[in-house]
Amino acid sequence: MTGGNREEEAKTGMTVPSGRSGFGALRSRHQRWVTILGLAALMPVLVLITVTAITFAQSAQVPLVIDGKLNGDGVPVGWELEAFHGNRQIKLEAFQNGRFGIRLVSEGSSFGLYKTVDMDLNEFPILSWKWKVDRLPPAGDIREKSKDDQAAQVYIAFPAMLRFRSPTIGYLWDSNAPVGTIADGHSTVTPIKIIVLQSGKQRLGEWVQERRNVAEDYRRLFGKDSVPKVGRVAIWINTQHTKSSAEATFADLQFLHAK
């Protein structure tokens, strides 16, 4: 220990490290503290990243819930009934994993169920669902107004100031119109564009998975660059035009991020 160090020790009562090894020990302790403080500073960032990742994973899909309960009117809880003609038959179909489907049966009637939403297609442009048709209206054909009956229909409505003017896209399982058919709806006031996704009896009684980029369909069908929010999703069945019957089940409707 040098004389200067001894004097300093005498003043402070502390041992003052001498030479290269003393300063090295101080530097080592300083570096450890810098590392600890640096990790502590990073912790909030790491937590934020983790929470963000979990939130993103949780919000990667927005299901249109079918919770397996009917209200006092026999309508699935969380859905609303819209009936245009005749009686409606609505049933719930339970799956093994706790999920439910909605079965619609039409005997010369026209009705459906809808769910009000506020869906930004810029974030969730994909709509996916499963449907199964057990009975088709034999003469149904979207191409002819007098035969405009289908067992399974899914509609996406984009709210306008006047509700009956809301642009709407319809996805159909038609009895006779070929797959890929694009047609205008037969409403004289509501702008409706139709796409036939399934046709005929080939897949009757089979669950069929569908996936549509609704944002792209809207731009293509209505010739618009910007896409408004979705305000309503409906499932529908009708057989009143051909005075026939039909039966279809819908399940797992959900909006998804684009992949």
Report how far residue 158's alpha carbon sits from residue 229's, in angstroms, rounded to the nearest whole number.
6
Global pTM reads 0.78
Q: Please provide residue 256's backbone torsions phi and psi, each rounded to the nearest 5 degrees.
A: -135, 155
Residue in 241, 252, 243, 232 with CA at minimum distance from that of residue 132: 252
Burial of 171 (0-12, 13-18, 19+ CB in 10 A): buried
Report how far residue 141's alpha carbon sits from residue 148's, in angstroms, rounded to the nearest whole number.
5
The DSSP output letter for 8 is H
Q: Hey, is 146 helix, strand or coil?
A: helix
Output the tens digit of pLDDT for each of the chain's 259 residues: 544 444 444 344 444 444 444 545 544 555 555 455 454 555 554 444 443 334 434 578 899 999 889 999 999 999 999 999 989 999 999 987 889 999 999 999 999 999 999 999 999 999 999 999 999 999 999 999 999 999 999 999 999 888 778 999 999 999 999 999 999 999 888 999 999 999 999 999 999 999 999 999 999 999 999 999 999 999 999 999 999 999 999 999 999 998 7
Burial of 7 (0-12, 13-18, 19+ CB in 10 A): exposed
Predicted local confidence at residue 24, as pLDDT: 53
C-alpha dihedral (233, 237, 241, 246), degrees to nearest 10: 170
